[in-house]
Amino acid sequence: MSKGRTRHPVAALPPSRRWERADHPYTDLVAVLATKHGKLPLIAPPLEEAVGLRVETVAVDTDALGTFTGDIPRQGPPLDTAIAKARLGMSAVGRPLGLASEGSIGPDPAMPFVIVDREIVVLVDDDNGIVVWESHSSWDVIAAATNVTADDDLGPFLAEAGFPDHQLIVRPNIGAVHPIHKGISSIDKLTAAIAECASVATDNLARVETDLRAHACPSRRDVIAAAAQRLAGRIAARCPACGAPGWGCIDVIFGVPCAWCGTEVARPRSEIDGCPACEHRETRAVVSPEDRADPGECPYCNP
């Protein structure tokens, strides 16, 4: 949607006009946060505190981009989804600065029996053509699920699921797709939903699982807040070359020599910091040059 704004490509502006050094470029600007699920108190305070960026919500239907409840499948990587959400909010109110968050909850690729929640928070600045993002991962998120009949004792499951602080979703286990009851936080509603869903399921079971939407899942909210805190720190950090906000780690170089045979072991050796607006990069060692890796990690010494 166009509001008659002339968009200046970053490269077309002289460096001195791009990012004034005196104040942070986002102080007193307004960014719109696209959210249906009450993320403002998680995302706004760290950004306000770090750089004086003001955050306002815009209620857009981000569910069109995929939902946790699985009724609308997600498409594309989470970062792309977060950027698309931010742009939905920006175009809804005609602002060039937007925020959004996107979470992925599922088995940890490194430890398949453990559930990990990775939350991304992104800032999109279309006036300057930059995107800045950060993420935070937690293994403490509650994501419980079970299949029950209408007569089962739910006590142990409800304790594991952190109910009622963590709300639940109930649906038929097999067969029917509907009804789906979301945001259940009372035992009466839970009992009624289980009876209804079990009665229409072909296996007579109701599927009961954590409602992972941000407002319904406090353990997820903590992870979003931590990701927002990291984003605030990154936005406060400015490129040493051009002054743009968003300076920070963009890549990690692996390879520390094994103490016995010298083969490079897959451990971080240095991090590359980069700028979202220009090509400036700096490499920062994370281990000293004399550091050697434990032979226990070496593919030759400890195959």
Q: Which part of the chain contacts Zn ion (CB under 5 A), choosing from 4-12, 79-87, 165-173, 276-284?
A: 276-284
Cβ at position 86, least distance to Zn ion in Å: 21
Site for Zn ion in 143-162 (CB under 5 A): none
Question: Is 157 in a helix, a strand, or coil?
Answer: helix
Phi-psi region of 190 (alpha: psi -120 to 50; beta: other; left: phi over 0): alpha
Residue 237 binds Zn ion, judged by CB under 5 A: no
Question: Helix crossing, 218-236 with 40-51: angle to 10°?
Answer: 20
Q: Which part of the chain contacts Zn ion (CB under 5 A), choosing from 64-72, 92-100, 217-225, 260-268?
A: 260-268
Q: Which part of the chain contacts Zn ion (CB under 5 A), choosing from 23-31, 80-88, 197-205, 252-260?
A: 252-260
Distance CA 133, CA 116 (A): 19
Cβ at position 263, least distance to Zn ion in Å: 5
Q: Please report, to the nearest 10 degrees, the dihedral formed by the alpha carbons of residues 142, 146, 148, 152 taken in order.
A: -60
Q: Point out which residues pair with 33 in neighbouring strands.
A: 57, 99
Residue 131 binds Zn ion, judged by CB under 5 A: no
Of the candidates 232, 213, 7, the residue with the CA atom closest to the CA atom of residue 122: 232
Residue 242 binds Zn ion, judged by CB under 5 A: yes
What is the 3-state composition of the chain as percent helix, strand, coil, each rounded to the nearest 5? 30, 30, 40
Residue 292 binds Zn ion, judged by CB under 5 A: no
Residue 13 binds Zn ion, judged by CB under 5 A: no
Among 99, 123, 205, 258, binds Zn ion (CB under 5 A): 258
Among 13, 261, 272, 287, binds Zn ion (CB under 5 A): 261
Residues that bind Zn ion (CB under 5 A): 239, 241-242, 244, 258, 260-261, 263, 275, 277-278, 280, 295, 298, 300-301
